[in-house]
Structure 1
Amino acid sequence: MDRADIIDVLGQFIRLKKRGANYIANCPFHNEKTPSFNVSPAKGIFKCFGCGKAGDVVTFVQEHEKLTYPEAIRWIADYYKIQLEESERTPEQQQQQMASEALRILNEYAAGYFHDTLLNTEEGQLVGLSYFKQRGFRKDIIDRFKLGFNPDRGDVFYRDALAHGYSAEVLERAGLAKNRNGIYHDVYRGRVIFPIHGMTGRILGFGARILRTTDKAPKYINTPENELYVKSRVLYGMYQSRQAIGKLDECLLVEGYTDVISLHQGGVENVVASSGTSLTEDQLRLIGQLTKNLTILYDGDPAGIKAALRGLDMALSQSFNVQLVLLPEGEDPDSFVQKSGAARFHEYIKSHKQDVISFRLQVGMTDAGDDPVKRSKLVNEIAESISRINKAEDFALQSHYIKLAARRLDVDEAGLINLINKYIRDRIETEQRHARRAEGLPQTPAAMPDPAILPTEQETQGQPAPPSSDEEQEWQLLRVLIEYGAMPYEGHASVIELMEERVETPLLMNPTVRQLFEEHMAHYKRTGQAYDVQYYLRYPDEAVRTRMASLLHSTPDISQNWSEKYGMEVIPVQIVGVNDVDSTLCYFELKKILHMQTELIEKLPHEKDPLKQMAMQQLFLKLRATERDILKRHETVVFKALKYR
């Protein structure tokens, strides 16, 4: 944990941009168009102000890669080449771990077996390696993608895996072996193997190409979907290409495994493959973590053109800058880069890029000709595509496409806008209907707002939030104790001593906050030292770790440009600390006063002694005066909600 640099690790998965002392990015855990994911390198924590996800470097790897906490620790240790010392497990624990990690461990073993068979066996060299050499693949590229070969003998891999302790059930679930009439055989026999890596380099599954000609067997087969491998969430080559994609701020998308490998060998490394499937939201989210510039490369034949159009509306709706390049007829990325070299390939890509709307207009107009039915269908397709563009964020781009489409299609611009708005309304209504169905609400659609006046994300950010609850104020008290506890305070050696004097723990209603507050105070009394931030970020309770990571994440800094342009100054941390301490303690001071007032009001009717009644009334008036003084001093109505709700 001390060795791991959160910026270094998170930078392997998402594109981070420096903003003041912190870094920002588009959140990898939910779809968003403007960055709300904030990383604090000083504290080693992240927080998304959109979906609320927060944590440290281990939490991020755990959430992003769907690992257990120990697995995430092991991944980080492996990344930094740190030797972990683990306690010896009981046979029961070993069996449990084997069951939970069986697929991942088996995939790693299988990839190593296939790669070793390719390079170090006679059959592998004569058949598998010869095929890759015919494709022009160098040894370093074969190693980079861990390409392999499965011998063309019924169950040779299956038997070897059994000998190494892997069960037939797990081999079948991983798609590596199949049971036919009680006899197991290798699924990938006689094929070259393309391991499919996740973002962290874990082997998720395999693609396998047959080498001998047959009419019965498919050319390519893939791992069946299981706990690790979900085809719609995988892009081939993402692990090998992620750094180049982030560095160049562009992702090239191709169809096949060999296209990715050939382009890497030719020096074009910012490339991934969809493996012949339409783009999915999960795949776009993977790309969007690194760049919003997507260039799609496809063959110039009709099938390639059709494939290029699938899934692009989804990319537009997620604010991708989508460009398309059709290669010369008869060429694919593999053959083109092999013949032309990297320099000419880059030059061709740069000069033949077309935006998605222009591309659709060109292809559609050629196909429609003078056919009025086809032209009408094309108008609707173009309108639907333009409707996917976020008007609030890309108003100028949407306006440009509307004018371009109206001119090329020879239709009225106002009519095209009305059609675009219809698609927006229909989509919103469908989403609302699905949401209502999911919540079990009546399906009567609500009145639809005009898309032209839908509030933007920026407009809604300025809306007042509801008053904070007692619970939130209690968590804020804990935050102030942790962040400023050691800071001197007027009249006291430290803030922690001030809080010990002013805060009565029975007034803390949240049991977790009360427990952490008392633990903190007890530790200070024993040692004279306060717990630091890292103690809470590594707290044994995962719920506490997550809440504290969110709580302790500082708000974004004022940027250097704003500071220079508008003269905005960052308030010194000492002043911020004093203000935080004062306002937080005043909340609890007021809460105590109101509690005492309530007790007096309840006791007064039952008190028979006139002198005691007078004393109680005087105390009540004194408490009211103190209350007014606190409210006046802080000039806020937040405290009033405490009394009158």
Structure 2
Amino acid sequence: MMSRADIVDVIGQFVRLKKRGANYMANCPFHNEKSPSFNVSPAKGIYKCFGCGKAGNVVSFIQEHEKLTYPESIRWLADYYKIALQETERTPEQQQQQQAGEALRILNEYAANYFHDFLLNSEEGQLIGLSYFKQRGFRKEIIERFRLGYNAEYNDQFFQTSVAKGHNKDLLEKAGLIKNRNGIYHDVYRGRVIFPIQSMTGRILGFGARILKSNEKAPKYINTPENELYLKSKILYGMYQSRTAIGKQDECFLVEGYTDVISLHQGGVENVVASSGTSLTEDQLRLIGQLTRNLTILYDGDAAGIKAALRGLDMALGQSFNVQLVLLPDGEDPDSFIQKSGVTRFHEFVKEHKQDVISFRLQIGLIDVGSDPVKKSKLVNEIAESISRINKAEDFALQEHYIKTASAKLQVDETGLVNLVNKYIRDRIDNDSRHKQRKEEAAAPANISEEDLAMAAAYGEGEPELIMAKPIAKDEPQEWALLRILIEYGHLAYDGFESVAKMIEERVDTAMIENQLVGKLYNEYFDHFTHFGSIPEIHYFINHPEPDIRTRMATLLHLNADISPNWKEKYGIDSVSGPMNYVVDVDSTMSYFELKKILAIQDQLTQLLHTEQDPAKQQRMMMKFMELRKMEREILKRHQQVVFKSLKSK
């Protein structure tokens, strides 16, 4: 399974990847960012975000992005690649645990199939539900693509059928499919057409349902209540059906309703999603941003549509989206417009009537302002705040253009508007700084000052004075770097040894490694060789059974183990990554590892010498110190630079 899964292919279903050298880059799907820091390595089968730190393999990506368990992610990949899985028999406890984790997903899938089947194959579904969709002009293939459905008017038909199939009453209620009134259960969606709401991978997250009969007491649309799967602010209707077209055309149309999405798809406009009546949220923008930064919002010209269009747009500007807005003719919505005018006229109209956010806000705002100075002042502030969201460093010319346009249309002094824009920028920076400072203060450990330890000792006539550097901090970075070269290059040849792995095994005893996880993996590496007679391949660690190790490996193997600039300057030790330079990489990493260990032991001896009173023990410590000093010189000599520091030079 893992050998068949192409990480670029899979992640490319969710994120717009761009090739950069041997790897691929994208804006991270796990946090909001303006510049791409999400890196995918096809050779190693891993991803790493250098912004938020998320890392892993193809399975962990599916787990994290789709909120699935490890077994569910494996099954998702098996379905994607059309591979039949042979699952081992599970214990009753394991079955119960799996059922608890997948219960809502299983129930939603069952409900979607039930409503779709009832629409197409029952007499009531065909007479009422199917007739409504056909009246809207929806063809059979579009009904099937969006898995549209219908629920019977009879009070509890779905409930009774579901319970008979073994579904839990409490879970049915949690999913928003039934309600319990005084011990009597009834269907929530009775007499309604059903719009299943799907994730980016097609999983059913919840439902929207429209009533067909006129009923003033009942809302026209109802949705699934929020639960573990259905979080309205993180969902865009139609994303599953539209994601490929959005990425291919590098533009996303945003509309309000389910039928707008479906009608546009049927008309040939497939790069479209719906916010389902909510204002734009950061999570929704993140979903779109994974595929494109070009967002065109389509709204009808009524007051509600205009207000909905204005909400959340500053957030999109702040995230460097290229936001355009199109107001359709009075009395038209995207559904009715494309059905009347066709796809060619639709694209012509959009092209002719696209407006940027600032121009749109000015047009709408000036109509409302009239001659009211209070309203005008409010509009000037709103426009200034919107302009301040534009990244000045990246889009200076665009911000300047908007300021000139806005000052002319609002008839205000351009310098004054510039000052107001800068005020909003300063206020936001100050707020962000205060927030960051509070977070750092809450997370910061107690300050511990360290005094430089120094020792000057003469070892015979003409010997230079020696001084110890600051006590070495934890050796974790060097231990992880050692593990990295072992995993990456262990199988390759090394001068004087059968392989890099054999050289490391001879020169590094497990006792030298303080980090427990590094020690565990170090031993696991050589245990694998002992038991199987072969060095473990890199994918053994990338696809490790323990999820924490998989994540750590993805981070470790994506990073170049760069040496601290201070160490480069002081000791001339450098790190050069890449298959053609692996010997340099191995030598540098080993030298750095050994030098850190030597200096750490020297530091311990220095501290002991301060307190030891026994002359014989002092002599043994001094001899050991000299031995370590010699080893240090040898390491430095290999890198053609010997460094001495005297007490006087301090």
TM surpasses 0.5: yes
Distance 2:440 2:619 in 1: 57
Distance 2:289 2:223 in 1: 25
Moved more, 398-407 or 595-604: 595-604
Report the residue type matching 1:257 in the other structure.
Answer: Y
Does the 8 Å CA contact 1:502/1:589 hold for their aligned counterparts? no
Cα 1:622–1:156 change in 2 (3 A) is closer
3-state SS of paired residue (1:552): helix
2:82 — aligned with what?
A: 81
Report the residue type matching 1:166 in the other structure.
Answer: H
Report the residue type matching 1:505 in the other structure.
Answer: T
Match of 2:525 among 520, 523, 537: 520
Report the residue type matching 2:404 in the other structure.
Answer: K
What is the CA deviation profile of residues 559-610 of structure 1, one whole-angstrom value per residue up to 9, with x for unaligned ones?
A: xxxxxxxxxxxx894552112111111123224433554576547956656x
Does the 8 Å CA contact 1:503/1:588 hold for their aligned counterparts? no
1:461 — aligned with what?
A: none
Report the residue type matching 2:397 in the other structure.
Answer: A
Structure 2 matches for 1:176-575, cutoff 5 A? 176-434=177-435, 469-553=474-558, 573-575=578-580
Distance 1:105 1:492 in 2: 56
> What is the CA distance between 1:24 and its match in structure 2?
0.4
Cα 1:598–1:181 change in 2 (3 A) is closer
2:147 — aligned with what?
A: 146
Does the 8 Å CA contact 1:40/1:554 hold for their aligned counterparts? no
Moved more, 261-270 or 576-585: 576-585
> What is the CA distance between 1:620 and its match in structure 2?
3.7
Distance 1:633 1:41 in 2: 35
Cα 1:97–1:572 change in 2 (3 A) is closer
Does the 8 Å CA contact 1:503/1:585 hold for their aligned counterparts? no
1:175 has 2:176 as partner? yes
Distance 2:147 2:643 in 1: 61
Moved more, 299-308 or 10-19: 299-308
Report the residue type matching 2:518 in the other structure.
Answer: V
3-state SS of paired residue (1:279): coil
3-state SS of paired residue (2:39): strand
> What is the CA distance between 1:249 and its match in structure 2?
0.5
Does the 8 Å CA contact 2:475/2:596 hold for their aligned counterparts? no
3-state SS of paired residue (1:192): strand
Distance 2:578 2:440 in 1: 45
* RMSD of Structure 2 on Structure 1 (CA): 2.6
Cα 1:631–1:469 change in 2 (3 A) is farther
With normalisation by structure 1, the TM-score equals 0.88
Moved more, 234-243 or 537-546: 537-546
Distance 1:354 1:28 in 2: 28
Distance 1:399 1:529 in 2: 64
Q: Structure 2 stretches of 5 or more lacking a match?
A: 444-471, 562-575, 646-650
Does the 8 Å CA contact 1:145/1:195 hold for their aligned counterparts? yes
Distance 2:335 2:629 in 1: 81
Does the 8 Å CA contact 2:300/2:329 hold for their aligned counterparts? yes
Does the 8 Å CA contact 1:631/1:639 hold for their aligned counterparts? no
Does the 8 Å CA contact 2:17/2:26 hold for their aligned counterparts? yes
Cα 1:511–1:379 change in 2 (3 A) is same
Distance 2:557 2:439 in 1: 34
Report the residue type matching 1:33 in the other structure.
Answer: K
Distance 2:605 2:559 in 1: 41
3-state SS of paired residue (2:406): helix
> What is the CA distance between 1:441 and its match in structure 2?
6.1
Distance 1:93 1:622 in 2: 57
> What is the CA distance between 1:633 and its match in structure 2?
5.0
Distance 2:253 2:600 in 1: 64
Distance 1:143 1:220 in 2: 21
3-state SS of paired residue (1:536): helix
How many residues of Structure 1 are paired with residues of Structure 2 in the alignment?
601
Q: Structure 1 stretches of 5 or more lacking a match?
A: 443-466, 557-570, 641-645
3-state SS of paired residue (2:558): coil
With normalisation by structure 2, the TM-score equals 0.88
Distance 1:7 1:587 in 2: 34
Does the 8 Å CA contact 2:116/2:150 hold for their aligned counterparts? yes
Does the 8 Å CA contact 1:502/1:585 hold for their aligned counterparts? no
Distance 1:614 1:56 in 2: 54
What is the CA deviation profile of residues 162-216 of structure 1, one whole-angstrom value per residue up to 9, with x for unaligned ones?
A: 0000111111111110111221111100000000001110000000011111111
> What is the CA distance between 1:354 and its match in structure 2?
0.6
Does the 8 Å CA contact 2:577/2:585 hold for their aligned counterparts? no
Distance 1:635 1:68 in 2: 52
Distance 2:643 2:232 in 1: 51
